[in-house]
């Protein structure tokens, strides 16, 4: 059984249908990427999975559980964490306060300090700036904080929406190397990313989304060699 199963997912914004009954799956321990042009429905897919928008129809199952009637905060308790596009950090709180805020629903309080150590090990700059207001961090540091905050939930599945957006190339490399390490430690990743080169280098499998429809699905290496994918998303 896949950790995440999406079947027939449809989402409508007013008169416009953004997702036209898509199917996808993510296995335990995988990195799966969604690639596609702006407006293809990638962000909507993640938001529908995490219940931030209500699907019109379709089914989303996580570890066998139907998520249809659950509010978004219950999904965090089940083991799904979401790093949104734009990071969504709390600018007027410190780095440490942002990280601790993600632990509000946890029952294993003694392990929180262990997870802080893990986050600071992955992102030493956050340790250096833990008393600093999050709004004063650089864009790259804010992205590190958004990922670190998600890790503090101890989720089994992390949804990531455009983690490289607006970052310098050297920071993009750093973020993707850290995502690979997070996956090696046991967290499953579903990644939405405009940088298709980086996404397909990182991922095990991928889906190509066009105007709300899955147009292709294969292992990442196969997609990277596909002439249509190369022409549309990889520059030739």
pLDDT tens, position by position, 42-58: 999 999 999 999 999 99
- Which tens digit of pLDDT belongs to each residue from 66-119? 998 898 889 999 999 999 998 899 999 999 999 999 998 777 878 999 999 999
Domain with residue 45: its CATH number is 3.40.50.300
- How far is C-alpha 83 from the geometric centre of its chain's CA atoms? 5
Both structure tokens of 201: 């280098």
Tally of domains in the chain: 1
- How far is C-alpha 150 from the geometric centre of its chain's CA atoms? 9
In the prediction, which pLDDT does 110 show? 82
Residues 190 and 221 sit within 8 Å (Cβ to Cβ): no
* Full domain range(s) for residue 178: 4-233
Cβ-based neighbours of 165, under 8 Å, separated by 6 or more: 85, 86, 194
- Which tens digit of pLDDT belongs to each residue from 104-161? 877 787 899 999 999 999 999 999 999 999 999 999 999 999 999 999 999 999 999 9
pTM metric for this prediction: 0.94
Could you say which DSSP state residue 94 is in? B
Percent of the chain with pLDDT over 70: 99
Q: Which of 20, 100, 26 is CA-nearest to residue 63?
A: 26
């Amino acid at each position: 059984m896949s950790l995440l199963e999406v079947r027939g997912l449809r989402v409508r914004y007013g008169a416009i249908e953004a997702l036209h009954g898509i199917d996808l799956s993510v296995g335990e321990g995988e990195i799966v990427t969604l690639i596609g042009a702006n407006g293809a429905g990638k962000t909507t897919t993640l938001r529908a999975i995490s219940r931030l928008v209500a699907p019109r129809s379709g089914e989303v199952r996580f570890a066998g559980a139907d998520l249809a009637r659950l509010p978004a905060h219950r999904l965090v308790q089940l083991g799904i964490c979401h790093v949104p596009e734009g990071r969504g950090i709390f600018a007027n709180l410190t780095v440490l306060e942002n990280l601790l805020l993600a632990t509000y629903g946890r029952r294993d309080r003694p392990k929180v300090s262990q997870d802080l150590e893990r986050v600071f090990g992955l992102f030493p700059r956050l340790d250096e700036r833990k008393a600093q207001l999050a709004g004063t961090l650089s864009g790259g540091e804010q992205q590190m904080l958004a990922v670190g905050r998600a890790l503090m939930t101890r989720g089994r599945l992390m949804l990531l929406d455009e983690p490289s957006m607006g970052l310098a190339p050297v920071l993009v490399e750093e973020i993707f190397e850290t995502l690979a390490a997070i996956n090696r430690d046991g967290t499953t990743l579903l990644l939405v990313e405009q940088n298709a080169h980086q996404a397909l280098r990182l991922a095990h499998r991928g889906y190509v989304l066009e105007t709300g429809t899955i147009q292709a699905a294969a292992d990442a290496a196969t997609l990277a060699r596909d002439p249509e994918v190369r022409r549309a998303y990889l520059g030739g």
